Amino acid sequence: VNDNQHGFLSGISSSCLSHIFSLSFSIYSSSSPRAGETGSSAAAGQSKPSGQTHKICLVCSDEASGCHYGVVTCGSCKVFFKRAVEGWRARQNTDGQHNYLCAGRNDCIIDKIRRKNCPACRFRKCLQAGMNLEARKNKKLKIKGAGTLEPVNPMPVPVIPRCMPQLVPTMLSVLKAIEPEIIYSGYDGTLPDTSSRLMSTLNRLGGQQVISAVKWAKSLPGFRNLHLDDQMTLLQCSWLFLMSFSLGWRSYEQCNGSMLCFAPDLVINKERMKLPFMTDQCEQMLKICNEFVRLQVSYDEYLCMKVLLLLSTVPKDGLKSQAVFDEIRMTYIKELGKAIVKREENASQNWQRFYQLTKLLDSMQEMVEGLLQICFYTFVNKTLSVEFPEMLAEIITNQIPKFKDGSVKPLLFHQK
């Protein structure tokens, strides 16, 4: 690809990409007051004059009664969350897990009619929406400390404490609760396999996974404390890290790394890997699977490592909320350490395990850079007839120049 073409593509995508991510973010935050709004303006947004659309509960889609525990919800979900957390704390098991179990696949529909059918899925949706008991405590403290009772912003801009003690009930429990649901590819396995059909399906699946990653990141403890521009930058730089790492985990867990499990209905076996233009990218992805197999990565370790990959590539000139970012990243590094201690019985092996896992995180930089080059090649090579969703095409053409011109840098644990 010549420089002129490269620059042209970059120019197109950079003007649209921010809008796409901003839209994805606004979908999940339109019901909440924004940072900088006054308490009165937030309160005005919750009033219900005739002709104004009522706000809906972000958990069950019933009519919302206000901002409860940091999220716009109905009164029923407010009470459910409070009781669930208090009961969880009272009955918490030694392994830190709650007593709710889903009788299905952890994907039950939670709406006004069916919200009482599955407490496990309802509680998961509460956490995904960002509900937090500390939000109410922070509001009360503001009122108590004021000389006069003035309207208080129901969603104050939070400040991350040193070790995030407000998380309910543990960081790992939250990470498990917000883990994205399974996405199906819709691939028709009854038709003959071709490279273009497989790759087009993978790209459509990738577009869906990017949207899922935005939802997931918005639910991560601490992530929304970052400046919105920083949130978008981190997602733009890490989307392929997150997708390939998640692919590695699924393939390790379900196929022991012998095949690539992109979705339950799309597994790339050895025969499919031999198709034209499939070999190179599959070999890169199999390297990740092989590392999972070699290290026998635990689920807790995987969850912490995936968050660290979201925080692994930053602008060379830094982020707008750099201090907050540094503290969030250190929090998740400590969580990885806790996951290792939980797994390893021999304390002397903890540091060795930490070294091995962080080396794997560092190696993802080179693997993903290779995958980006392959993605870009298939994108500009029109003879391959590979379809790219508009959003995915814009992300790729925006990201490649940043890696090439050195405007972004990896945060490595070890020197090369």
Q: Is the peptide bond before 169 cis (omega within 30 degrees of 0)?
A: yes
Euclidean distance between CA atoms 290 and 333, whole angstroms: 23
Euclidean distance between CA atoms 118 and 256, whole angstroms: 32
- Window from 102-111, 209-218, 310-319 with minimum mean pLDDT: 102-111
Residue type, position 303, single letter:
L
Question: CATH no. for residue 373?
Answer: 1.10.565.10
Half-sphere exposure in the Cβ direction for 190 (13 Å, CA): 1
The residues, any chain, with a CB within 8 Å of residue 77's CB and separated by 6 or more, are: 57, 59, 60, 62, 68, 115, 122, 126
Is residue 12 domain-resident? no
Do residues 180 and 126 share a domain? no
Do residues 336 and 225 share a domain? yes
Do residues 183 and 125 share a domain? no
Confidence at residue 249, expressed as pLDDT on a 0 to 100 scale: 95
Q: Domain span at residue 321?
A: 171-410
Beta strands of 126-243 (E only): which ranges? none
Beta strands of 324-415 (E only): which ranges? 408-410
Is residue 251 domain-resident? yes
Do residues 220 and 359 share a domain? yes
Residue 110 sits at φ, ψ, to 5 deg, of -110, 105
pLDDT in tens, 363-372: 999 888 888 7
Confidence at residue 90, expressed as pLDDT on a 0 to 100 scale: 60
Euclidean distance between CA atoms 129 and 308, whole angstroms: 21
pLDDT (mean) for 193-209: 88
What's the maximum distance between 2 C-alpha atoms anywhere in the chain? Answer: 73
Do residues 254 and 376 share a domain? yes
Do residues 220 and 310 share a domain? yes
Instruction: Burial-class residue 229 by CB neighbours within 10 Å (0-12, 13-18, 19+).
Output: middle
Higher-pLDDT residue of 233, 42:
233
- In this structure, the dihedral spanned by the alpha carbons of residues 328, 331, 337 and 340, taken in order and rounded to 10 degrees, is -70
Q: Using the Cα atoms of residue 19, residue 312, residue 184 and residue 269 in order, give the sign of their dihedral.
A: positive
Q: Is the pLDDT of residue 257 over 90?
A: no
Q: Is the pLDDT of residue 140 over 70?
A: no
pLDDT (mean) for 57-72: 89
Tokens 């290779």 found at: 370
Is residue 261 domain-resident? yes
Mapped onto helix, strand or coil, the DSSP state of residue 183 is: coil
Do residues 298 and 404 share a domain? yes
Strand-pairing partners, residue 242, are none
Is residue 143 domain-resident? no
pLDDT in tens, 315-361: 999 999 999 999 999 999 999 999 999 887 777 788 899 999 999 99
Domain tally, the chain: 2
Question: How do beta strands 260-263 and 266-268 pair?
Answer: antiparallel
pLDDT (mean) for 101-128: 84
Q: Model confidence at 262, in pLDDT bands (50, 70, 90)?
A: very high
Do residues 266 and 397 share a domain? yes
Do residues 277 and 391 share a domain? yes
Euclidean distance between CA atoms 272 and 279, whole angstroms: 9
